[in-house]
């Protein structure tokens, strides 16, 4: 990176820039060997050893993935103040990035032995080896700028702009212009505040509007694409086929987010209270979405391209409070933040559900809200089963799905779109700190609210399951069980998504605690040329209060197939020479 001061030409003028070239090569080796599991035979009271059917023999796959990235960035900046009252801040910039990469892989299976995990040791039968590869090129270019003005540090205005180009879109739709403006007023600098409100150190109100673009969709959808496959056999020879893949759309362009914000910043009583408050609203339009929902399947049109048809609104409030104080010889500080943000779909292409089925609509609900059968109980016996509508094949011990449309049948039209997702609407945190003489203590708490996570496992012979799911399960001898019977597709979240498995994912976590002691300066430290020495003890992920218990409430994987967060204790020393 280089920076050049051009004040000799124009006072306050400078230029900087950098070039970055990154090259990486990833090698991946996946060696799979047969494994065994045991099944309990109730009649003989013994465990039978069984081999996993998907791994009769060992298999190996190796990948090599080289990638390069080249970035250029340069900025021209001007900053100056005139007559001590007019402040001007100007920035003009340019950036471009090019990325390239490819992937080459080879695999073999049916190894006679697991002793050698190399490709040459695998089967030479063509049916048991394969290879392939892919490649990509990406390029983006941006022009950006900022113009800021302030009058005596009291009235502020700033204008921003971006002009972005992306390889994702066709030439005529490739560029997007995204402006922004922000205004601020420091009321605390007004004389009527300074002279009459001594406890107010700073008070500023601000408002802003800006646009952002998003191109995070599949590339080259404006081109008619072909794929290889669907091979044919001519004269006992396998001939590679080529077929059209999807439909092109030359009109797709940037998604646009219009964000409005009003806020307030304040500092009162010399640090006893600090506040940052924001109200925001974002309207996302031109969201790229496929029309697969409203176009009937009988038309034969599938794999349709994305179109700029979706609209989503997001709004919320964010609050941060700060406190600094000194009581005797103890310095104390606290900081807390709270965010509430909710979104709703204004328009998405979706299936016309029909009259009376508005509870299934995606519009008006959070983005990503799913359809679930509402569970109202468990069938205790055959008489109970026959007394209420149920799925075909239902048995005693199965979940009871509510007949939402009250037509005497249970089918996919009885699913209700849920108002909460696994993306929390509330996020909060708090930091506490104190120091006394050479001792210091810091505490970090964080949490979330208004979130739901599906927590489930398959309670059968195909895998592990949660103890809580089977401890009080329904059986012919436990008809009042609080858990459904083991097995059956109706009780499976993977077959029939139901509210039974949706859990409240709210939590409060003691994320970090650290206690430190700074050794006072002494002759021993001076002899070692040590200017600062601090010893500390810290703990990470010490306590979590939540309602799920089976899995981490922060996870997006309700089946528990992830590496959990660790509880960590550290003892260390910081030394400065």
Q: Could you report the per-residue pLDDT of 65-107, keeping only the tens digit for each?
A: 999 999 999 999 999 999 889 999 999 999 999 999 999 999 9
For residue 41, what pLDDT band results from cuts at 50, 70 and 90?
A: confident
Report the pLDDT value the prediction gives residue 461, as an integer from 0 to 100. 60
Residue 490 burial by CB count (10 A; 0-12/13-18/19+): exposed, middle or buried?
buried
Task: Output the pTM of the full model.
Answer: 0.83
DSSP 286-313: EEEE--TTTS-GGG---SPPPEEEEEEE
Report the pLDDT value the prediction gives residue 192, as an integer from 0 to 100. 87
Given a cut of 70, is residue 456 above it in pLDDT?
A: yes
Given a cut of 70, is residue 523 above it in pLDDT?
A: no
Report the pLDDT value the prediction gives residue 306, as an integer from 0 to 100. 81
The span from the CA of 478 to the CA of 397, in Å, is 10
Report the pLDDT value the prediction gives residue 261, as an integer from 0 to 100. 97
Report the pLDDT value the prediction gives residue 389, as an integer from 0 to 100. 93
Cα three-residue angle 293-296-297, rounded to 5 degrees: 100
Q: What percent of the chain has pLDDT over 90?
A: 62
Report the pLDDT value the prediction gives residue 154, as an integer from 0 to 100. 92
The span from the CA of 415 to the CA of 488, in Å, is 19
Q: Could you report the per-residue pLDDT of 464-473, keeping only the tens digit for each?
A: 678 887 888 9
Given a cut of 70, is residue 460 above it in pLDDT?
A: no
DSSP code for 381: S
Report the pLDDT value the prediction gives residue 244, as an integer from 0 to 100. 83
The span from the CA of 52 to the CA of 44, in Å, is 22
């Amino acid at each position: 990176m280089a920076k050049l001061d051009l004040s000799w030409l124009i006072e306050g003028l400078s230029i900087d820039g950098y070039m970055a070239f990154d090259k990486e090569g990833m090698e991946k080796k996946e060696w799979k060997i047969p494994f065994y599991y045991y099944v309990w035979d109730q009649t003989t009271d013994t465990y039978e050893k069984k081999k996993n059917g998907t791994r009769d023999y060992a298999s190996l796959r190796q990948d090599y993935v080289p990638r390069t990235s080249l970035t250029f960035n340069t900025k021209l900046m001007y900053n100056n103040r005139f007559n001590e009252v007019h402040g001007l801040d100007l920035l003009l910039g340019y950036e471009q990035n090019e990325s390239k990469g490819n992937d080459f892989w080879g695999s073999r299976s049916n190894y006679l032995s697991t002793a050698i995990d190399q490709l040459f040791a695998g089967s030479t039968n063509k049916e048991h080896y394969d290879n392939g590869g892919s490649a990509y090129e990406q390029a983006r270019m941006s022009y950006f700028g900022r113009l800021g003005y302030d009058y005596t540090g009291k009235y502020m205005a700033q204008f921003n702009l971006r002009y972005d180009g992306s390889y994702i879109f066709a030439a005529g739709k490739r560029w997007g212009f995204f402006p922004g403006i922000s205004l601020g007023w420091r009321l605390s600098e007004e004389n009527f505040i300074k002279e009459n409100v001594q406890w107010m150190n700073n008070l500023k109100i601000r408002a802003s509007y800006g646009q952002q673009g998003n191109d995070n969709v599949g590339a080259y959808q404006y081109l008619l694409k072909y794929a290889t496959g669907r091979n044919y056999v001519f004269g006992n020879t396998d001939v590679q086929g080529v077929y059209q893949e999807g439909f092109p759309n030359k009109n797709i362009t940037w998604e646009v987010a219009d964000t409005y914000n009003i806020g307030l910043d304040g500092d009162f009583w010399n640090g006893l209270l600090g506040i940052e408050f924001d109200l925001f609203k974002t309207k996302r339009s031109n969201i790229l979405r496929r029309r697969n929902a409203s176009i009937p399947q009988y038309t034969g049109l599938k794999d349709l391209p994305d179109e700029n048809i979706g609209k989503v609104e997001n709004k919320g409030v964010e609050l941060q409070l700060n406190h600094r104080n000194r009581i005797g010889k103890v310095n104390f500080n606290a900081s807390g933040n709270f965010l509430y943000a909710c979104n709703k779909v204004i328009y998405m292409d979706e299936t016309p559900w029909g009259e009376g089925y508005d509870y299934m609509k995606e519009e008006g609900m959070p983005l990503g809200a799913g359809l679930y059968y509402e569970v109202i109980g468990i069938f205790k016996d055959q008489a109970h089963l026959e007394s209420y509508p149920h799925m075909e094949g239902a048995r005693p011990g199965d979940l009871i799905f509510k007949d939402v449309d009250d037509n005497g049948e249970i089918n996919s039209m009885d699913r209700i779109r849920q108002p909460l997702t696994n993306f929390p609407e509330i996020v909060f945190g708090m930091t506490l700190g104190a120091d006394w003489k050479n001792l210091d203590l810091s505490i970090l708490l964080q949490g979330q609210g208004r979130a739901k996570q599906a927590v489930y496992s398959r309670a059968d012979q195909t895998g592990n399951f949660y103890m809580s799911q089977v401890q009080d399960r329904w059986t012919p001898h436990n008809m009042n069980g609080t858990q459904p019977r083991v097995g059956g597709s109706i009780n499976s979240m993977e077959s029939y998504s139901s509210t039974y498995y949706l859990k409240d994912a709210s939590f409060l976590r003691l994320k970090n605690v650290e206690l430190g002691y700074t050794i006072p300066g002494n002759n021993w430290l001076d002899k070692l040329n040590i200017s600062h020495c601090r010893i500390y003890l810290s703990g990470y992920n010490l306590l979590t209060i939540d309602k799920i218990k089976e899995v981490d409430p922060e996870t997006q994987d309700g089946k528990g197939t992830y590496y959990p967060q660790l509880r960590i204790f550290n003892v260390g020393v910081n030394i400065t020479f």
